[in-house]
Amino acid sequence: MRNFVRKVFKLYSNDKAAFSAIVIVLLFAFIAAAAPILASKLPWLVISNNSGIEMPTSPLLHAIIHPRKRIILERTDYRKLASEEKISAIFPPVPFSPYETNLDNFLDAPSFSRFGHPLGSDSLGRDVAARLMHGATNSMLVGLIAVGLAFIIGVLIGAMAGYFGGWTDLALSRFIEIVICFPTLILIMAVLALIKPSLVTIMVVIGLTGWTGIARVMRGEFLKRRGGDFVLAARLTGASHVRLILKHILPNSLAPLIVMAAFDIAGAVLLESSLSFLGIGVPAPEPSWGDILKNSQEYPDIAWWLVVFPGTCIFLVVVAFNFLGDWLRKALNPRERAAS
């Protein structure tokens, strides 16, 4: 096992594309996980307070520990107090909340002055950087959970079809083909017209429509392995179906699926952005990359920052996951591993 890890690592340190892909994925994962800390109007630390307003030493930490007090804490305008030098405080890198609207800041261009919008603001005066970071959380969550769901359904259906063969296979394969025939985007739009879109429904809907590819690969793997010698050997010893599937076939069929999952995450992120762009994604105040892009549609000639930054984020994540999938394909294939 250690040997395997070393070999995989060796391959990956030689592969520049894979290396950058992993760095980008880890970076976005970090931003997604840490967005509430990295982008907030609440300061990290209040060093001195001459304003006469009572406030905790770390308003952000306080709000995280006591979520109910967040609204009260956010009523205080710390940025104003800080610029009037009534308090001195350490702010997060992006000192804005993603929901904060301020029509005075209608389409502010990116500025690096203190408390300026580093990546500009949108038509409601919301900070683009903060929305991008919090949007990353949503995008990553949708990608991971939707693909996880698709993975579970696909593996179950594909494994059953491939393992049992015969009528089961015939019925399940036709079912898979029927699901493939639906145009995904339109199906999702129809479903979301019926049920209220929320982060959870988007994940579930993308997962429920995205499992067909995994099921087909799984079916093929099971068909191939089912007749293999070591499966036969276990069968001849009298192994049960459960044992054959879980111990002998599944562990040997997972490599191509892990690769597929990486590509599918990219697809899910893209799909979520498309849905938000069409206005049926994550509902309104929730930030999403697609939503920022939608906002840009009305002012493409004035606000370039509304196009470029979310577009770059989507592009980077999708490309990174694709490279990651490509690298996993190589790393998990012993023959290619041996060759390099």
Partner 1 sequence: MVRFSRISKRFVLQKSFTGKPLKYVHALNNVSFEAYRGQSTGIVGESGSGKSTLIRLFMGLYQPDSGFFSMDELISTYMQKADWNKLRRRAAMVFQDPWGSLNPRLRIQDILTEPLAIHGSALQIPKSEWANILYKTLDSVGLPQSCLTKYPHEFSGGQRQRIGIARALILKPSLILLDEPVSALDVSIQAQILNLLSDLRSEFNLTYLFIAHDLGVVRYLCDRIVVMYAGRVMEVSDSESLFENPRHPYTKTLLNAMPSIEKLGQIPEAEPEVEIVENQGGCPFVHRCSRVMEICHKTMPQASTLGTSTFYCHNPMPQI
**Residues engaged in binding partner 1 (CB under 8 A):** 228-230, 232-240, 243, 247-248, 251-252, 334
Q: What are phi and psi of 110, to 5 degrees?
A: -55, 135
Instruction: Please identify, using beta-carbon distances, which residue of 300 and 334 lies nearer to partner 1.
Output: 334
Contacts of 228 (CB under 8 A, 6+ apart): none
Residue 308 parent element (H or E): helix 305-331
Give least dist CB 167 to partner 1, A: 11
Is 62 or 235 the residue whose CB approaches partner 1 more closely?
235
Retrieve residue 142's tokens: 């949708």
Residue 88 CB neighbour total at 10 angstroms: 14
- Which lies closer to partner 1 via its Cβ, residue 79 or residue 247? 247
Bridge-partner residues for 232, per DSSP? none
Beta bridge partners of 90: 45
* 191 contacts: CB under 8 Å, gap ≥ 6: 205
State the nearest-atom distance from the C-beta of 226 to partner 1, in Å: 12
Selection from 72, 86, 201, 77 nearest residue 141 by Cα? 201
CB of 248 to partner 1, least distance (A): 6
CB of 228 to partner 1, least distance (A): 6
Give the residue among 155, 149, 151 at the shortest CA–CA distance from 221.
Answer: 155
CB closer to partner 1, 201 vs 252: 252
Least separation in angstroms between CB 9 and partner 1: 19
Beta strands, E only, the chain: 45-49, 87-90
CB of residue 134 to partner 1, shortest distance in Å:
41
Distance of closest approach, residue 175 Cβ to partner 1, in angstroms = 21
In whole angstroms, what is the distance from residue 117 CA to residue 160 CA? 53
Q: Which is nearer to partner 1, 113 or 237 (CB)?
A: 237
Closer to partner 1 by Cβ: residue 52 or 238: 238
- Reference 126, options 100, 89, 145; nearest CA is 100
What DSSP character marks residue 288? -
CB closer to partner 1 out of 248 and 330: 248
d(CA 182, CA 158): 19
